[in-house]
Amino acid sequence: MKAHLRPALVSIVLLSAITGLLYPLAVTSVGQGLFPKQAAGSLIEVGGKTVGSELIGQNFTSPKYFWGRPSATGPMANNAALSSGSNQGPLNPALSDAVKARIEALRAADPGNKAPVPADLVTASSSGLDPHISMAAARYQAPRVARERGLPLDKVQALIEDNTAERDLRVLGEPRVNVLKLNLALDASKP
């Protein structure tokens, strides 16, 4: 029995040390050495104070800010500890009611805007933490934000263009706007 038990225990201890200690330390060291900003959470600082992460959406509700995608994390929006989708299918009445309420909120915030509401402004992402919106979603909100801030519409549209990330590797995904970065750029601009 000892002949079989000893190699099994040695294997468990050795593999635990490799996979539980050495590998995580190596990956963390390489990540921090090659990609220090990303390894630290892609944090955004303003005036020496951390205001958020490029990777996690924030819940903006004031009409003078661009609004991000709805978050399915509950009870608090954009809670990274509860990252998940709503798991509501297209035939679920709760999803239909939520989308209708979101459309009504967007229309109430900008009653003169008769353009079709982009889907990403009324549907949550699969993680519930998406920090980006589509160009269409940003353009849809531009008139409201410009009016609320007393800025010319073309200046707000230029800020959208300046804060647009292109497709990854020029072919993957769609151009997208990081809502936190765009709102920080708005705060930094003068009317």
Asked if residues 61 and 108 have their Cβ atoms less than 8 Å apart, the reply is: no
Residue 76 confidence (pLDDT) above 70: yes
- Under the banding of pLDDT at 50, 70 and 90, the label for residue 191 is low
Q: Which of 179 and 128 is assigned the larger pLDDT?
A: 179
Residue 135 confidence (pLDDT) above 70: yes
Interior angle at CA 56, CA 184 and CA 31, nearest 5: 105
Question: Could you give the CA distance from residue 144 to residue 60 in angstroms, rounded to a whole number?
Answer: 14
Radius of gyration of the chain (CA): 22
Residue 124 confidence (pLDDT) above 90: no
Phi-psi bin for 90: left (phi > 0), alpha (psi -120 to 50), beta? Answer: alpha
The backbone torsions φ and ψ at residue 95, rounded to the nearest 5 degrees and listed phi first, read -65, -45
Q: Where are the beta strands (DSSP E) in the chain?
A: 43-46, 49-53, 132-134, 164-165, 176-178
